[in-house]
Amino acid sequence: MLILAIFLSAVVSYLLGSFNSSILVVRLWKHKDIRDYGSHNAGLTNTLRCFGKGPAALTLLGDLGKGIVAVLLSREICVLLGTGLTAQNDVHFIGYIAGIFAILGHVFPIFYHFKGGKGVLVGVSVFLGIDWKVFLCLIAIFIVVLAISRYVSLGSIIAAACCPVITFLFQYLQQDGLPMWYLWLNTGLAALMAAWVIWMHRTNIQRLKAGNENKFSFHKSSHS
């Protein structure tokens, strides 16, 4: 039953992730495809730059929401199937499974020809469902790096790189008798999520090295 619970959680989370908020919002609000504008990335930053604060705000809510919902549904699946993994002691492991597949769905959405966003917001929102303290730390790191550098991509990359370390530290400090292998398993899953997010920023890393990465601005571009 545990294998079935993991399989169902993965499928449900992938399908949730495949509902790309940026694509849906821009299509419904502006009757356009976000992937035809700006950086062609179906994500929050490109939506803000090309179509302004309104569509960006809805994209933010949508991407954060589906990561949280994926975690909650995966926990309920375990409980309903009677795997013995209750919501209380399974909040980390099954949450990471949900997060990995929600990001996968966001990046390769089955509903949009497998062309989506980079999965940063979805990945961060998963931690809001798993452990709000880790979530706050990652957001704080992102905001500090963004404020100093004004690069959204750099903030996302550094926050992702810190994710496994912060995950391990918080779980170690509040392990409540959990075996060490379980902590390392969760840390490994968090590292997998982080590595995927960083990999999706490989073109941004090249632009950062070249010095031509776009800096963050609240103003939308003129070509929308």
User: Could you tell me where the DSSP H helices lie in the chain?
Assistant: 2-18, 21-30, 44-51, 53-80, 93-107, 120-130, 132-149, 152-173, 180-199, 202-210
pLDDT tens-digit series, residues 136-162: 999 999 999 999 998 988 998 999 999
For residue 56, the 8-state DSSP code is H
* Stated pTM of the model: 0.81
How far apart CA 191 and CA 170 sit, in angstroms, is 14
What is the rounded (10 degree) CA torsion for 169, 66, 38, 156?
0
Q: What tokens appear for 212 in the block?
A: 């031509």
CA angle 58, 41, 210 (to 5 degrees): 125
Contacts of 188 (CB under 8 A, 6+ apart): 164
Is residue 16 within 8 A of residue 70, CB to CB? The reply is yes
Q: Which residue has the tokens 């905001």?
A: 143
Report the C-alpha gap between 99 and 92 in whole angstroms: 10
Per-residue pLDDT of the chain (224 residues; tens, 9 = 90+): 778 888 999 999 999 999 988 889 999 999 999 888 887 888 888 888 899 889 999 998 998 899 899 999 998 888 888 775 554 555 678 888 999 999 999 889 898 888 877 888 888 888 888 888 888 999 999 999 999 998 988 998 999 999 999 999 988 887 666 778 888 988 999 999 899 889 988 888 999 999 888 887 655 554 44
